[in-house]
Amino acid sequence: MKKLLIVESPAKIKTIRKFLGKDFTIMSTMGHIVDLPQKKMGVEVSDKGKIDIDYVAIPGKEKTIADLCKASRNADVILLAPDPDREGEIIAWHVAQEINKLTKKEKNIQRITFNEITKPAILKAIENPRKIHINRVNAQQARRVLDRWVGYEVSPILWRKIASGLSAGRVQSVALRLIVEREQEIRDFKPEEYWSFDGLFAKDSKTELPTELSKIGTKKIEIKNEKDAKKLVTAVKKESYIIDSITDKKRKKNPVAPFMTSTLQQAAYNKLGFSVKKTMQVAQKLYEGMPLQDKSTPVALITYMRTDSARLSDTAITAVRSFIKEQFDAKYLPKTANVYGKKSKTKTQDAHEAIRAIDVTLTPEKVKPFIPADAYKLYTLIWKRFVACQMKAAEYAQRQVLVKGGKFTFSVTGSTLTFDGFLKVYKVDDDKDDKKVTIPASIKEKDPVDLKKLDPKQHFTQPPPRFTEASLVKTLEKEGIGRPSTYVSILNTIRARSYTTLDERKRFVPTDLGSTVVEMLVKNLPKIMDPKFTANMEDDLDKIEQGDIKRDKLLYDFHQTFQKDLKVFAEKDGKGRATKPTGVKCPTCKKDELLIRFGKAGEFVGCAGYPDCDFTSNFTRNEDGSLTLVETKPPELLDELCPKCNSQMRNLMGKYGEFTACSGYPKCKYIKQNKSGYDCPSCKKGELIERVWRGGKFWGCSDYPKCKFNVFDQIKKTPCKKCDYPFTVEKIKKDGSTVSCANKDCTDFVKFVPKKRTKK
C-alpha cells in the first residue's frame, strides 16, 4: 500500500524518513499553500450573514500544489501532518481541498498530529489518524478574516489622514497602544521624595547588626522631606535599644513550571538576550531535528514549541524522575510528580505538552559539540527547566530580628539556603532571597544594643519601565491579547512600520508617528483598540474551535458594527494630513507653532504658517518628551565623479543617515555602495555590500531579493581557522567584542576580546 505523508516544513522530512519504510513518500507544503488574495479583500458578506472566503494560490506555490496533487494520484492513503495548531490544521484542510479538486475519485485522506518527532510518536500518530478538525479550521479562518478586515479597511484611511505606507492591525495596534500609553505614563510621572534610615547596631565590638527603620509606633515610616528626616535622626539617636524579638522560620521556593511558548520567549530574552523572533527560529530547528554524531541523521531535541500548556505527559514525567534519581541524590526527587496546569486563558491548546527535551538523557553537554552555539544555549535552557520542574522545592532558614527603642522599630531579615532543591539545576532571575545579610548567632532577645551609626538616605519614586520584548509579551499574555504564535509577527510589524524605536537598553520607545496612529485609532475606532475587547475576541475564537460559537455569526456581528464605525471615521472632516502640535514657536517667523508632520523620509517639524513660512527641520525627542531641532546638513559636492554619467557625486542626508549619490538625480539614480570585497557565500553570484535600514547598517547580498543572505555584525578580513570560511564577524558588546566564524554551522572558532580600560 502506497502512503503519502505531507508535512509543513521540509526540514522535518529527513528526520521523519528514518522512522518509516519504503511504502511512504514524504513531501512538504513549505508553509501555507493558499491564502486570501493580495490585491482585493477576498471576503464577501451576504445580507443573511453568510461569509464566503476566496482563497488563491500564494505566488510561487503553484508548483508545490501541482506536485502534491500529482503525488496524491498514486497514493492509496494520504496522511496530512502539518503542525498541531490552528495554522497547521488549515494547511491540512487546504491541501485536502486542492487534492479533491483534481482527483476524480474520493481519496482516503486522513489527518495526523504529533508533538515530538520521534519514532514512537510518529508511529502512534499514523496508527491513530483522525478527520480534519473543522472547528479549528473555522477558528483560524475567523482570525484571518478579522485581521484582513481591519488591515485592509483601516490602513487606507491612515494613508489619507497621516502618511502613506502605514498599517493597522487588530492585535498589533492594541499592542502599540500599550507601548504608547506606557510612554505617556513615564512622561507624566512626577517623582515623589521619600527617605529610608539604615541603622547599624552593636552588642559588643565584635557583634554588629545591620537594620532598617521600619515603624514609628504602629505605622510604617513615611518621611518625605529633608527637614523631617533631620528631626527624625535627632529623635532616634536619643533612644536606648534592645533586641525586641528574634523569629525563625522555614520557607520553601517551589520549582518553576516547564516552558510554554510565552514563558520560553521571556526567559530566552532575559537570560540569553534572544529576540522573540530568534527564539522561535532556533526552537523550530530544535523541534525539526539537528544532526548529532551522524551528520546524515537529524535528531529532534524538543517537543512542539507553540503551546499554551505547561502539562507534561506521563511518559515524560516517568523519564525525568528516573533521570533525577540516577543523576542526582534521592533527596532531590519528590515523592509524587509535580503537576502544572496551564497559565494562559485559552483552553484550546492544552492538548499539546509543555516545551521539553524529548530525551532527558541527551544532556546539553552531550549535544554541544554538534549543534550551533545559539541552539545549544536554548536547548540548555529548555532542558534545565524541564528537569528542574520535577525536583523538590528549595528550602531557606529565615530569621527576622526586631530592635526597639521608644517608639522606633528597626528590623532585618536574613535568609540562608539550607537545601538547593531545583535551584541546583535552574537558577531563577527573581530570587530576592539572596540578600547578603549576616545576622550574628550570638544575639538573644532582650539583649541591649548600641546604635553605632544611622544613615539617612534620600530616594525618589521611579516611573514604570518601558517595555522590552519580554515584558511586552508578558503583558500581552496576561491581558489575553493575541496568542504566543502571533507575538513574533506583532513585534515585527510594530518595528517595521517605524511606529517604535529601541533605546540603548533595547526597550520600546514609540515614535511620534506611532503615537499619532494610536491617538487617531483610539478616538475613531475605540472598540477595536480596546484591550478587553481584543482579549474577549480571542476567547470567542477559542469558543469557535470548541464548537460553542458559529464562525459566521461572530464575523457577521463584528462586521456590522465595524462598518458603521469605519464609515464615520472615513467621512470625518480633516483638512490635510494629521499633524501633531509641539508647543514650540517657529524660529524663523517667531509667530506660529511648529507642527510635527509625517513624510516619506520620516517625521519632521514644519511651521504651522506654511506656505507663508516654509521653515522645516529634523528633530530628536528627549527623555522628558521635549524636542531638540536638528540642523539639516546641505548636500556636499565631491571631487569624485559618477561612474555612470560622469556628473559630480555628492553626500546627502537620507532617512537612514548619510549616503553618497550622483548629483544628476533624477536623470541618474546611481548610489555609491560600500563593498566588502567578498562574494556572497550563499548564492555565489552577488557580492556583499553595505546596506542601511532604520535599525542601522548591515552587509547583504547585492543580488537581493533573489538572495537574502545578510550579516548584521562587522566583517573582519580574517578567515576561520577551523572551517576556512573566508571571513569572520565581530560583535561589539559592553565589555568587549566577540569574534566568531560567519558560517552559522561552525561553532568552534570563537574569541572574546576584552574592552581596553583607560587608567584614570
Catalytic residue numbers read: 304
Angstrom distance (rounded) from CA 46 to CA 53: 12
| Numbers of helices and strands, H then E, in the chain | 17, 35
Written as one string, the DSSP assignment of 559-587 is HHHHHHHHHHHHHS--SSS--EEEEEE-T
663 half-sphere exposure, CB direction, 13 A CA radius: 14
Q: Which of 564, 572, 586 is nearest to 523 (CA)?
A: 572
> With helix as H, strand as E and coil as C, how does 203-247 read?
EECCEEEEEEEEEECCEECCCCCHHHHHHHHHHHHHCCEEEEEEE
Cα dihedral 274→280→286→288 (10° resolution): -160
Assess whether the previous peptide bond of 611 is cis (omega < 30° from 0).
yes
239 touches 405 (CB < 8 A): yes
- Name the helix (H) or strand (E) containing 121: helix 119-127
Q: Which of 63, 61, 62, 56 is nearest to 38 (CA)?
A: 56
Angstrom distance (rounded) from CA 168 to CA 517: 8
Written as one string, the DSSP assignment of 155-168 is HHHHHHHT-TT---
What is the residue type of 694? R
Residue 753 Ramachandran class (φ > 0 left, ψ -120 to 50 alpha, else beta): beta
Angstrom distance (rounded) from CA 402 to CA 400: 7
Written as one string, the DSSP assignment of 252-310 is EEPPPPPB-HHHHHHHIIIII---HHHHHHHHHHHHH-EE-SSTTSEE--B--S--S--
Angstrom distance (rounded) from CA 367 to CA 379: 9
Residue 605 CB coordination number (10 Å): 24
Q: Which residues contact 135 (CB under 8 A, 6 or more apart)?
A: 544, 545, 546, 547
